[in-house]
Amino acid sequence: MSRRPFVAGNWKMHKTAPEAAAFVRAFAGKVPEGVDVAVCPPFTALAAAVEAARRTEVAVYAQNMHQAEKGAFTGEVSAGMLLDAGVDGVLIGHSERRQFFGETDEGVNEKALRAHAAGLRVILAVGETAEEREAALTEIVLERQVRAGLDGLSAKQVAATTIAYEPVWAIGTGLTATPEIAQAAHAFIRGLVEGAHGVAERVRIQYGGSVKPDNAAELFARPDIDGGLIGGASLDPADLAAIASAAAG
């Protein structure tokens, strides 16, 4: 089965509402055929991005959400609030959330369950640190994160989940994983999804970590790499469009 490639830009803590709207207007005109695209603005810019993305091919995802429906969780945002803001989906389990904000596999799983139940699309991010790779723990870490993250989801929900493989050592460092390293991790993750849920051929697996216009094509040419989750290079509409074009083939 051929999977439609998917390229998403994770803006992290960048861009105001007017900057987000201007980006989406500039980017929408450059989106090639044959690839799904999304941007993940910060919460304060979601509504402006959604408005600018109306009647375009650009989907809008949040970068995080809380797993509870509502309640006394100061500073947090629920799935229902994201839907109310008009967003299409949510990124869950990014390594910066795991590293700097104490997110656990269990919490990530609760978020995935809640997001799917609410009807949001989900990108689930996983990936090992440099220390874990050096200690030959990559597959153990990926297995734990993927199994826990997808636990309790229906096969249909798993098939509709995009998994983003983002080795932590490649994020923001310029140390892109080689296509061989990335492909091996993607094939391993696809095998895990097959074993646990039986929908491996349908699940899209993005690579993330220092993807740029000049290295995207060789990564996306690998059979199990279905697009990318882009940080720094997603802040410029021409760069993100070039990366989307590389995914479109």
Just list the catalytic residues: 94, 166
Q: Which stretch binds ligand 13P (CB under 6 A): 25-33, 49-57, 112-120, 209-217?
A: 209-217
Count of residues of this chain found to bind ligand 13P when the rule CB under 6 A is applied: 14
Q: Which amino acid is at 78?
A: S
Q: Which residue is nearest to ligand 13P (CB)?
A: 231
For residue 46, the minimal CB distance to ligand 13P (Å) is 17
Please, what is the Cα angle at 243 between 237 and 245, to 5 degrees? Answer: 100
Given candidates 18, 152, 172, 198, which one binds ligand 13P under the rule CB under 6 A?
172
Is residue 95 within 8 A of residue 166, CB to CB? The reply is yes
* Residues 75 to 114 in contact with ligand 13P, rule: CB under 6 A: 94
- Whose tokens are 């803006």? That residue is 11
Distance CA 41, CA 16 (A): 9
Q: Which stretch binds ligand 13P (CB under 6 A): 30-38, 74-82, 193-201, 204-212?
A: 204-212
| Residue 209 contacts ligand 13P per CB under 6 A | yes
Our CB check for ligand 13P shows the closer of 50 and 243 to be 243
Distance CA 54, CA 63 (A): 19
Q: At what angle do helices 17-28 and 237-248 cross, to 10 degrees?
A: 40
Our CB check for ligand 13P shows the closer of 64 and 157 to be 64
Our CB check for ligand 13P shows the closer of 155 and 175 to be 175
Residue spans of beta strands (DSSP E) within 127-181? 161-165
For residue 156, the minimal CB distance to ligand 13P (Å) is 25
Cβ neighbours for 222, distance < 8 A, ≥ 6 positions apart: 179, 182, 183, 186
Please, what is the Cα angle at 140 between 229 and 193, to 5 degrees? Answer: 60
* Residues 152 to 171 in contact with ligand 13P, rule: CB under 6 A: 166, 171
Residues that bind ligand 13P (CB under 6 A): 10, 94, 166, 171-172, 208-211, 229-233
